[in-house]
Chain A
């Protein structure tokens, strides 16, 4: 119940009640859009936006630029880590943290 899942708004179905169809992992469902609609974000402009869905309510828009920035930062961290690993003498390396993420 607490898990939020990303979904994309496909269609606005009820402007007055602020309802729309959101596709979440291939499943389409009517979702309440009240929390992501205001003066700056009219309901008509929602279609195509990615939102985080919790218990049938879109709780926030997902910012594609911030998502990209985080991914870029993660990649940079990875590159940096490769540098550090190449500088460090191998005998001080521990066996921790080298397992595989499943």
Chain B
């Protein structure tokens, strides 16, 4: 496929890996003193594992898998709210397939569907809107989840519903934003990160400018990266060059898709429809101020939170689950007490095991445990 295959060339990949190894050696980093680089986005985590890049990097680089998988950070309370909506009479609850198996406090949406709720998987919010047009006597709710990558699609769909005067389409927004999240991570004293591989598709929407202040205040270089193997390797080369030359800036590796100013139309749609929530609770990371997006009062008639009575309870994460530590990069997935035993992709306890872009699912599915590094202690 064009714009995919040419960014997977194995020969160039090997050369880039050699260059990275050379740069790490020049920087004097080794297994004892690795550079800790966080790839924020779950899509990057997926590529690192699927293509075996993680296991081929020199020991002087440690990749820390960040919280940029929206399914993984969806809190238990939000799943409970979604179930409360989906079990109302006369509701068709539509969602991306990724959210179906995320455990709530009692059950998941998938279990809820098995018990008879009308829950349908859709590819796009437009599919939910089409369903609302076709079923005027039913309330069609779309479960909006994701960062600025998916939020504009939900916003544009809501605006379309508003324009058409539909009264049976509702958006349940659990959308989140990246900058407050990075801010919270950088403010965490436990987190020791040297630099970031930034999320390409979020940045395609918001542009480079929002990262500048973060980069300056915390002195952490950021390279916005594409999602193919060569994109990630080139981004690492660019990041290492910043360390070598003592620079600290926001750079854009993914120029074929990301313009420095982002996508203005998508930004306008976000501003028109959403307002930041004072606080939004994340699975594993707790409450992060201004990180959630709620629907503006002008569109209250299309807001599922206003249409339905929701429990909106804050439910603590399961005790056995260490998703929070995994999401902050404090432990590796296989160091979690329940990894691969009680918690598997078939019966996940934590959300990092649910999504294919979750760090735990990536480790589990691709089986590339970094066995040459520290193995988990036997219990």
Contacts and interface: CB of A to CB of B under 8 A. Distances in A.
B299 interface: no
B70 interface: yes
A96 B57 CA distance: 7
B149 A59 contact: yes
Contact of B266 (A35, A66, A101): A35
Contacts of B237: 77
The CB with the most chain B CB atoms within 10 A, among A30, A64, A92, A96, is that of A96
A6 B14 CA distance: 25
Contact of B265 (A34, A54, A64, A92): A34
A89 interface: no
B6 A71 contact: yes
A56 B126 contact: yes
Nearest to A102: B52
Interface string A1-30: 111101010000000010000000100001
B201 A52 contact: yes
A15 B53 CA distance: 43
Contact of A97 (B42, B57, B70, B127): B57
A40 to B, nearest CB: 11
Interface in B4-57: 4, 6-8, 10-22, 25, 41-43, 51-53, 55-57
B234 A74 contact: yes
B255 A63 contact: yes
Contact of B263 (A6, A17, A55, A59): A59
Q: Which size class do B's interface residues fall under? A: 35 or more
A78 interface: yes
A75 B16 CA distance: 10
B42 A74 contact: no
Contacts of B96: 1, 55
Contacts of A64: 256
Nearest to B55: A99
A42 interface: no
Given A74-B230, A96-B56, A35 B156 contact: yes
A38 interface: yes
Interface in B137-195: 145-147, 149-150, 152-153, 156, 160
Q: Which size class do A's interface residues fall under? A: 35 or more
Given A50-B2, A101-B51, A69 B201 contact: no
Contacts of B350: none
Q: Is the interface of A mostly helix, strand, loop or mixed?
A: mixed
Contacts of B1: 6, 25
B11 to A, nearest CB: 7
Contacts of B98: 1
A70 B52 contact: no
A59 B204 contact: yes
B364 interface: no
B21 A102 contact: no
B126 to A, nearest CB: 5
A101 B69 contact: no
A74 B228 CA distance: 13
A98 interface: yes
A56 B2 contact: no
B376 to A, nearest CB: 22
B241 to A, nearest CB: 11
B184 to A, nearest CB: 20
Contacts of B69: 2
Contacts of B230: 74
Interface in A36-80: 36-38, 50, 52, 54-57, 59-60, 62-64, 66-67, 69-71, 73-75, 77-78, 80
14 contacts: A1-B71, A32-B126, A54-B153, A57-B126, A59-B153, A60-B263, A77-B16, A84-B19, A88-B22, A97-B18, A97-B56, A97-B58, A99-B52, A99-B55
Given A75-B12, A94-B21, 13 more contacts: A1-B98, A2-B357, A3-B227, A4-B227, A6-B4, A32-B124, A34-B265, A52-B204, A52-B257, A55-B125, A59-B205, A67-B256, A94-B58
